[in-house]
Structure 1
Amino acid sequence: MTPSRRSIKNMGNNDILRGEAMDRGLTRLTALIIILIVVIAAAGGGAYYMISRRRAARKPIVVGAALSLTGKYGRTGEWYKLGYELWVEEVNKKGGLLGREVKLILYDDQSDPTTSENLYEKLITVDKVDLLLGPYSSAIVFPVSSVAEKYKMLMVEGGGNAKKIFSRGYKYTFLTLPGLAENITLGLFKFIESLPPDERPKTVAIINAKDLFPEAIAAGAKYYCKKYGLEVVLEEEYPKEATDLTPLLTKVKGVNPDVLIGGTYFPDSVLIVKTLKELNWRPKIVFLTVGPAMPEFWETLGEDAEGIMGESWWEPTAPWPGVEEFVEAFREKYGKDPDYHAACAYAAGQVIEAAVKAVGEIDHTAMADYLRTHTIETIVGPLDFTEAGYPTLGPLLIQWQDGERVILAPEEAATGKAIYPLPSTWS
Structure 2
Amino acid sequence: MRWFKNVTLVLLAFVVGIILLPFQAKAAAPKQILIGTLYASSGTFATSSTSQYHGLEFWVSQVNKQGGVYVAAFKKKIPVKLIAYDDQSSTTLAATLYNQLVTRDKVNILVADFGSVLTSVAVPIAQEHKILLFDPTGTSAKFFSPANPYLVLTSLPTSGVWPTVLADFLITHKINKVAVIYSANDFNQSQAETLKAKLEAAKIKPVYYHAVPTDTSNYTVLIRTIQAKHPQALIEFGYPPNDIAFLQNLQASGAKFNMVFTIFPGQQLALIEKNVGAKALEYTYTYPTPPLLVYNKVNCGMPMSEFEKVYTQDTKRPVDFLTAAGYNNGLIIEKTLATAKEFNQLSFRNAINSFSGKIFTLNGLFKINNEGAQIGEFLPVGQFQPTKAGLALHVVYPMNIATGKPIYPAP
Give your verdict on TM over 0.5: yes
Mapping 1:192-203, distance limit 5 Å: 192-195=170-173, 200-203=174-177
Judging changes above 3 Å, is the alpha-carbon distance between structure 1 residues 366 and 168 closer, same or farther for their aligned structure 2 residues? closer
Q: Please, which runs of 5 or more residues in structure 2 have no aligned partner?
A: 1-23, 72-76
More divergent stretch after superposition (327-336 vs 104-113): 327-336
Is residue 70 from structure 1 mapped to residue 42 from structure 2 by the alignment? yes
User: In the aligned structure 2, how far is the partner of 1:157 from the partner of 1:405?
Assistant: 28
Q: 1:213 aligns with which of 157, 174, 187?
A: 187
Bigger proportion of residues as helix: 1
Aligned to 1:40: none
User: In the aligned structure 2, how far is the partner of 1:265 from the partner of 1:166?
Assistant: 21
User: In the aligned structure 1, how far is the partner of 2:198 from the partner of 2:310?
Assistant: 39
- The residue type paired with residue 326 of structure 1 is F
Is residue 380 from structure 1 mapped to residue 368 from structure 2 by the alignment? no
CA contact (8 A) 2:146 2:370 kept: no
- The residue type paired with residue 368 of structure 2 is F
CA contact (8 A) 1:314 1:396 kept: no
Aligned to 2:404: 416
- The residue type paired with residue 220 of structure 2 is T
User: In the aligned structure 2, how far is the partner of 1:92 from the partner of 1:413?
Assistant: 37
- The residue type paired with residue 363 of structure 1 is N
Judging changes above 3 Å, is the alpha-carbon distance between structure 1 residues 395 and 353 closer, same or farther for their aligned structure 2 residues? same
CA contact (8 A) 1:61 1:102 kept: yes
Q: Please, which runs of 5 or more residues in structure 1 have no aligned partner?
A: 1-48
Deviation at 1:291, TM superposition (A): 4.0
Deviation at 1:127, TM superposition (A): 1.1
Q: 2:157 aligns with which of 156, 172, 179?
A: 179
CA contact (8 A) 2:141 2:160 kept: yes
Deviation at 1:409, TM superposition (A): 3.2
Mapping 1:44-193, distance limit 5 Å: 53=28, 56=29, 59-97=31-69, 98=71, 99-167=77-145, 169-193=147-171
CA contact (8 A) 2:170 2:176 kept: no
- The residue type paired with residue 194 of structure 2 is G
Aligned to 2:339: 358
Deviation at 1:361, TM superposition (A): 4.5
TM-score, normalization by structure 1: 0.81
Deviation at 1:320, TM superposition (A): 3.8
Q: 2:271 aligns with which of 270, 277, 296?
A: 296
1:279-316 Cα deviation digits (max 9, x unpaired): 21122111112244212112222211111111134335
Mapping 1:269-348, distance limit 5 Å: 269-294=243-268, 295-302=270-277, 303-316=279-292, 317-321=294-298, 322-348=303-329
User: In the aligned structure 2, how far is the partner of 1:248 from the partner of 1:169?
Assistant: 41
Q: State the SS of the aligned residue for 1:400.
A: strand
Aligned to 1:396: 380
Q: Which has the larger radius of gyration?
A: 1
1:136-162 Cα deviation digits (max 9, x unpaired): 121221221111111111111212111
Judging changes above 3 Å, is the alpha-carbon distance between structure 1 residues 276 and 163 closer, same or farther for their aligned structure 2 residues? same
More divergent stretch after superposition (101-110 vs 306-315): 306-315
Q: State the SS of the aligned residue for 1:349.
A: helix
CA contact (8 A) 1:293 1:405 kept: no
Judging changes above 3 Å, is the alpha-carbon distance between structure 1 residues 213 and 183 closer, same or farther for their aligned structure 2 residues? same
**Percent of aligned positions that are identical:** 24
Q: State the SS of the aligned residue for 2:228.
A: helix
Deviation at 1:259, TM superposition (A): 0.9
CA contact (8 A) 2:112 2:118 kept: no
User: In the aligned structure 1, how far is the partner of 2:251 from the partner of 2:87?
Assistant: 34
CA contact (8 A) 1:157 1:345 kept: no
Q: 1:238 aligns with which of 212, 216, 225?
A: 212
- The residue type paired with residue 135 of structure 2 is E
CA contact (8 A) 2:266 2:289 kept: no
1:222-247 Cα deviation digits (max 9, x unpaired): 11212334221111111111122222
- The residue type paired with residue 257 of structure 2 is P
Aligned to 1:405: 393
- The residue type paired with residue 396 of structure 1 is P
CA contact (8 A) 1:312 1:396 kept: yes
Q: State the SS of the aligned residue for 2:99.
A: helix
1:196-244 Cα deviation digits (max 9, x unpaired): xxxx321111111122211111111111212334221111111111122
Q: State the SS of the aligned residue for 1:107.
A: strand
Deviation at 1:336, TM superposition (A): 4.5
CA contact (8 A) 1:292 1:400 kept: no
- The residue type paired with residue 272 of structure 1 is F
- The residue type paired with residue 105 of structure 1 is I
User: In the aligned structure 1, how far is the partner of 2:213 from the partner of 2:341?
Assistant: 47
Give the root-mean-square deviation of aligned CA atoms: 2.1
1:32-91 Cα deviation digits (max 9, x unpaired): xxxxxxxxxxxxxxxxx99x95xx55x221101012221001011111011111111122
Q: State the SS of the aligned residue for 1:205.
A: strand
User: In the aligned structure 1, how far is the partner of 2:59 from the partner of 2:380?
Assistant: 24
CA contact (8 A) 1:306 1:403 kept: yes
Deviation at 1:408, TM superposition (A): 2.5
CA contact (8 A) 1:314 1:395 kept: no
Aligned to 1:28: none
Judging changes above 3 Å, is the alpha-carbon distance between structure 1 residues 181 and 301 closer, same or farther for their aligned structure 2 residues? same
User: In the aligned structure 1, how far is the partner of 2:256 from the partner of 2:133?
Assistant: 42
- The residue type paired with residue 391 of structure 1 is Q
Paired residues, number: 367
Aligned to 1:21: none
TM-score, normalization by structure 2: 0.84
Deviation at 1:362, TM superposition (A): 2.7
Judging changes above 3 Å, is the alpha-carbon distance between structure 1 residues 370 and 255 closer, same or farther for their aligned structure 2 residues? same
